[in-house]
Amino acid sequence: MPSFVEQVNSKKHLCNQGFFASTMAVCSLVAGRVRDGALYSNRWDREELIDPPSETFFVAARDSIPRDLVAAKGIHYMRACAILAIASIQNGQIKNMQKYFGLYHTLTSLDGLYDEKFWPQDLNPIQTEERRRLFWSIYTLDIYSSVVWGGVIRHREAHSLVRYPSELDDEFITNRGYGVPSISPGLNSPLTGNVTVVSRQPVPWLRGWNFTTDLYRILEHIVDGNRRRFSSANGMTQVWPLFNRLSISEPAVMEQVLTMYSALPSQFRETPPITGDMSKNLFGFQSANIQATLQLLRMVLLSTEEIGVERKCDVAGELLSGFSSVPIEYLKAISSPLLHHLGGIGYILGSVMEGNLSEVSYTRARTLLLEMAGLLQRLEMGLHRASGAGERLRSQVDRIDGYMRTSLPVDLTSPSDATQIMNADPELAVPSAYGQGTPAVGASPGAGLDQMSQFQLPPELLSDWPWPLDSRSAEVFLPLPFE
């Protein structure tokens, strides 16, 4: 919010240790994102933003947090720990992410951030909105972390007595109260040329932000349902059937989710190219984030269902199609966390490759893997802590191709080789996979043929798969892929 910038400009960080910690944490995250290529404006100079490096600011923030957390009072320390957790993901330090995430949750429990009745009574509207934004932002990180790296969900929606942030742009939120956006003038009728009276207020970017939070709240319940599939192995009496929990159906949930999505203003369902207009870019980023979260939700939903090879390839193709519909600049702005989203697609395709295959299913999975490798390589280009997953995946396909040529008579000279996909112009990307009638990427003309002569790849060929496939990781749909 502008209040944060105003406080920095007034040098409050030099006289308030908590605000200094949160300011240094913001600088650490910004420096890490810029270093990894998430800067698309001439307003700032890249070299200035990456010197000092992210790690220097990180240490400054870390050292400003009291060892005795009881003394770390107020929103500034909570925000510092939350942002240090995100900066740790950016810089590939997942154990640090868990550490500072844990510190954040300790501080929120001490402060009572999860329930507005425990908040100080003298908060002004700006301070109230800052707390609401912090709480729900890190709630989504909590769900995301549980999906990607396992572990418990600390803050449950049912226990979170915090309102969503007000859907107003920052200029209408002041210390004194909330303003009302002006209504836009009437529009000319395309038929008569007359001015028609239209009550149209500007769409606030926070509407898209709150919708993303809705998706994560849905994800929380999907994760619960998924985890129950494995709870019988702990030897405890099963009590959840007492509450008549219905099974989660991917088509039913997605139907409701897409109904919600289609009701959003068009700004959140379209992702135009990056421009010099920061306000338009902000809407574009919200749209890209919504698309990425929709993909994650669908991947977790499908992890609860037994689906065949063709269906897995359909899903992987549709997910890649969804990512391909977003200009690469926005994907790079989401940065390192997006690579973990893509790990779910790798997990799906990995399960295809370790199962029974036919020539048709292998050729189709291979095309999708090469497409994914190209996307990963484009996203990892310039990352300070790049994992090389795209290059490793391409090498993996080459190894399997070598085995296929020598052991099985499979034609691998498909014209859909994904080198052209890797170099594809983002402007020519396919539309969102959530549109009606969008064909799956990589669909093979022979997908409906009788699949005879099935075979299975030797396990050693998949030993270097970029995403773990062993059964010990089965309870986590997106196993730890980029440590």
**pLDDT tens-digit map of 124-154:** 999 999 999 999 999 999 999 888 887 889 8
Give the residue ranges of the chain where pLDDT is below 70: 1-2, 41, 182-200, 229-235, 240-241, 244-248, 304-305, 382, 384-387, 408-452, 467-483
Two tokens, residue 353: 């490759």
**Contact partners, residue 379, CB within 8 Å, separation at least 6:** 328, 331, 332, 338, 339, 342, 390
Percent of the chain's residues with pLDDT above 90? 32
Residue 442's nearest CA partner among 370, 378, 392 is 370
Q: Whole-model pTM?
A: 0.81
* CA 139 centroid distance within chain: 13
Cβ neighbours for 197, distance < 8 A, ≥ 6 positions apart: 186
CB 30 within 8 A of CB 5: no
- pLDDT (tens digit per residue) in 159-216: 999 999 999 988 889 888 888 776 655 444 444 445 444 446 789 999 999 999 999 9
Domain boundaries, the chain: 1-154, 203-232+241-305, 306-483
- pLDDT for the residue numbered 200: 62
Which two three-digit tokens encode residue 286? 């919200």
* φ, ψ of residue 284 in degrees (nearest 5): -60, -40
Per-residue confidence (pLDDT) for residue 102, from 0 to 100: 95
CA distance 411 to 406: 12
Report which of 376, 258, 238, 362 is spatially closest to residue 312, judged by C-alpha positions. 362
HEC readout, 275-325: CCCHHHHHHHHHHHHHHHHHHHHHHHHHCCCCCCHHHHHHHHHHHHHHHHC
